[in-house]
Copies of this chain bind each other. A is one copy, B any other.
């Protein structure tokens, strides 16, 4: 671990959700860019992800305003990147308090602390799932509805309290080291165990975007906010621009790994409100996904030891 460089001219970024897959990648990217980073994270619990970060000041979010205010006051960030959220493709009633608390309360406290400190720049994280059937707002699930609800609260802080904001709407993200229980991880496990994976018919489109590209997008949004010409708020999407169906994804893995995956398409139904067509939201300006799915998957497979032996 290096000494923290205390030079006053470096851009300072406070990141929430820093223990997550995108958060960790982003911290590295920000530092490589020469910026100073801090993380606002929940205190460690037995099951939580490690809170050890290189070159990053860590503040505890104790679920209350004071702890958020302390981070904003002490670190005085130039930009706050709000990645923290509770992601649930489906919820049960018992999840609701945590969904509201993580996806609505935490961000509101953060915006209030920024407003109290005179305003600031905020990068928010949305989801393409706010756009079921490519509607301007039609949530796939309650998770997406809480994201939209938070956008309304963000709009208030932008319009009335001196916050500048960009919301980045994510489609599916992936990359080596991702341990989230998502489709790609299931497929790689199938690859390993040979077990049958029962799936839907597999015609739904997904825009897999590599975590390095996503992190670059967050950095790009921060730069946009730091520019002289930006005012108010905007919403953009970070997506590969190259949708594939789940069937095509499986074929691609098979071709890259030289081994057939034991997938039984059509064995289960689509999820309720499955996004059959990827949402084609306007992309972040000056940003473009650079890592093709083929390249990104190949890297994942190679590093995981699943790569083609040829």
- Chain B residue at minimum C-beta to C-beta distance from A156: B145
Q: Is the CB of B142 within 8 A of A153?
A: yes
Within 8 A of B (CB), among A68-90: 69
Q: Is the CB of B138 within 8 A of A112?
A: no
Contact of B105 with A160 in the complex, beta carbons under 8 Å? no
Q: Are B104 and A100 in contact (CB under 8 A)?
A: yes
Chain B hits for A141, CB < 8 A: 156, 160
Known: A142-B156, A150-B149. A105 touches B112 (CB 8 A): no
Contact residues in B for A104 (Cβ distance below 8 Å) = 100, 104, 149
> Which of B132, B144, B153 is within 8 Å of A146, CB to CB?
B153
Determine if A118 is an interface residue (Cβ-Cβ < 8 Å).
no
Given contact pairs A145-B155, A145-B156, a sample of 15 additional A-B residue pairs in the complex whose CB atoms are under 8 Å apart: A93-B113, A96-B109, A100-B104, A104-B104, A108-B142, A139-B159, A141-B156, A142-B156, A144-B156, A145-B153, A148-B149, A148-B152, A149-B152, A152-B152, A160-B273
Query: Which B residues are CB-close (under 8 A) to A149?
Result: 104, 148-150, 152-153
In the complex, A50 has a CB within 8 A of chain B = no
- B155 and A137 contact, CB distance less than 8 A: yes
Q: Considering the chains assembled together, what is the distance between the CA atoms of A94 and B148 in angstroms?
A: 23
A97 B105 Cβ-Cβ under 8 A: yes
Once the chains bind, are A93 and B69 in contact (CB under 8 Å)? yes
B-side contacts of A227, CB under 8 Å: none
Task: For the complex, give the distance between the alpha carbons of A112 and B272 in Å.
Answer: 16
**What are 26 A-B contacts with C-beta separation under 8 Å?**
A65-B93, A65-B94, A93-B109, A93-B112, A93-B116, A96-B105, A96-B108, A96-B109, A96-B112, A100-B100, A100-B101, A100-B105, A100-B108, A104-B104, A137-B152, A137-B155, A139-B156, A141-B160, A142-B156, A145-B153, A145-B155, A148-B152, A149-B153, A152-B152, A160-B272, A160-B273
With a CB–CB cut-off of 8 A, which chain B residues contact A116? Answer: 93
Complex Cα distance, B116 from A100, in Å, reads 19
Residues of chain B contacted by A148 (CB below 8 angstroms):
149, 152
Least CB distance, A117 to chain B, in whole angstroms: 11
Contact partners of A69 in chain B: CB under 8 A = 93
In Å, the complex CA distance between A104 and B98 comes to 12
Contact A152 B156 (CB under 8 A): no
Q: In the complex, which residues 230-261 of chain A have their Cβ closer than 8 Å to any Cβ of chain B?
A: none
Name which residue of chain B comes closest to A161, CB basis: B142
Chain B minimum-CB-distance residue to A108 = B96
> In whole Å, how far is A108's beta carbon from the nearest beta carbon of chain B?
6
